[in-house]
Amino acid sequence: MNKIQMVTPLVEMDGDEMTRILWQMIKDQLITPFVDLKTEYYDLGLLHRNETKDQVTVDAANATKRLGVAVKCATITPNKQRMVEYPQLTEMWKSPNGTIRSILDGTVFRAPILIDCIHPVVKNWKLPITIARHAYGDVYKSVDMYTTEPGECTMTFKGASGEEKTLLVQKVDGPAVWQGAHNKEKSIRSFARACFQYAIDTRQDLWFSTKDTIAKIYDGEFKKVFEEEFENYKAKFEELGITYFYTLIDDAVARVIRSKGGFIWACKNYDGDVMSDMVSTAFGSLAMMTSVLVAPDGTTEYEAAHGTVTKHYYKHLKGEATSTNPMATIFAWTGALRKRGQLDGIDELVTFAGQLEEACFETLSAGIMTKDLVGLVDEGFEATAVTSAEFIAAIRTRLEAKR
Ligand code: NAP
Ligand code: MG
């Protein structure tokens, strides 16, 4: 059998723990037997990030900018506990996803993988709902304080030109809490562009919601920037028959629940954090959630939404065969291969990505699945829990039949 030839390499970002184990299994069993895989490899495993003083993360992000498409394995973001677990760490390195996101200036889109035998909790949801979360500013880059006595708080902006602007926040007669938040017009604009571009790429309607009736200037700016940017995408939207729709966040929540899905819901940073957990839980499982970072220039990085599945890794280290779900990681690979194929005009690669996804769906439909999914299937559907290796082998058999 001739392997599919690639032209431009993918940026491959390896990661940590159980997902690193799955990564290798997926490559060995499902990709390299069929594709003459070309990648620029960056090891974002925690220890290698430490050895390179995190330069490898920056290099991987820059390579993504250069080559246009990346696929990333889940990685450990060190915390205090990890500093004890890995005493060789010289610093509590920042989240690689945060670093990559700020270099690519991207927006994260999260969508569930739907299967016939698992129905969402919301019974009218038939199609995936994609959450686009703005990943800069607001409460995540805010300052807050507690005060004990009566008094007043003001907010002052000091312009580089020397001009000042001061507002009274509130006068209080006792203890109080305060918060100062901001966002940048540039960041809001790239968020809007990434959303419109993604809607075009995936041919889905785009919804955007804020609370501009209350935060007239703050959220009003988001609404205004989206309206301005939409002008540049309007013609393409009309051509594709898709729509852009703005509404208040509370109205959006009600409409989302009543909808049948199949659209992108763009949210401000906090709303996106909260709503993505609501949407992913209602669809079933974090292990079935894909995530893609899209930059305003179209650069894309695909990954799974879940973490490194530490608990399973420790079982794996003890020699236990785990039943960790590789679906989201496989779909990160198919997403990246499909995109690379589209950009380079390699139809065979695009077809292969589709065949691998179909092989996954056929395996699940046959009732062969990892433990996490067995507990979620509809009543009456017969499913057997298998190990990750057995699940991947069953996908391989079905994929081979298509080649
Ligand atoms: P996690 O790795 O997502 O796992 C949490 C739990 O969810 C697991 O213990 C498991 O439950 C279940 N789960 C998640 N993915 C699964 C899968 N593919 N198959 C089966 N079950 C799955 O989150 P965490 O344990 O909080 O974080 C572990 C590490 O991941 C942390 O160091 C964190 O920094 C990192 N992280 C990385 C990313 C990223 O790179 N994108 C994102 C989030 C977290 P059971 O144990 O009940 O089976
Ligand atoms: Mg969260």
Counting Cα atoms < 13 Å in the Cβ hemisphere of 96 gives 33
- Report the C-alpha gap between 365 and 378 in whole angstroms: 12
Residue 202 in this model has a pLDDT that exceeds 80: yes
- Report the C-alpha gap between 370 and 49 in whole angstroms: 31
Shared-domain flag, residues 279 and 314: no
Shared-domain flag, residues 362 and 384: yes
Q: What's the domain range around 156?
A: 143-180
Task: Give the model's confidence band at 281: pLDDT under 50 very low, under 70 low, under 90 confident, else very high.
Answer: confident
Q: Which atom of ligand 1 is nearest to the CA of 371?
A: 20
pLDDT of res. 284: 82
Shared-domain flag, residues 131 and 241: yes
* Residue 306 in contact with ligand 1 by CB distance below 6 A: yes
pLDDT of res. 280: 87
Average pLDDT across the chain, whole number: 95
Which string of DSSP letters, residue by residue, matches 371-396? Answer: HHHHTTSPTT---EE--HHHHHHHHH
Shared-domain flag, residues 244 and 354: no
Shared-domain flag, residues 316 and 391: yes
Shared-domain flag, residues 150 and 242: no
pLDDT of res. 402: 96
Task: Give the model's confidence band at 101: pLDDT under 50 very low, under 70 low, under 90 confident, else very high.
Answer: confident
86 within some domain: yes
Shared-domain flag, residues 257 and 137: yes
End position of a domain, from candidates 151, 180, 209 = 180
**Cβ–Cβ < 8 Å for 265, 204:** no
Residue 97 in this model has a pLDDT that exceeds 80: yes
**Most informative mutation of 49, 84, 306, 369 for ligand 1 (most atoms within 8 A of CB):** 306
Radius of gyration of the chain measured on its C-alpha atoms: 23
pLDDT of res. 31: 98
Shared-domain flag, residues 102 and 126: no
Shared-domain flag, residues 398 and 312: yes
pLDDT of res. 330: 98
Q: State if pTM tops 0.85.
A: yes
User: What percentage of the chain carries pLDDT values higher than 70?
Assistant: 100
Residue 25 in this model has a pLDDT that exceeds 90: yes
Residue of the nearest CA to atom 23 in ligand 1? 307
How many structural domains is the chain composed of?
3
Shared-domain flag, residues 133 and 242: yes
Residue 68 in this model has a pLDDT that exceeds 90: yes
Shared-domain flag, residues 273 and 380: no
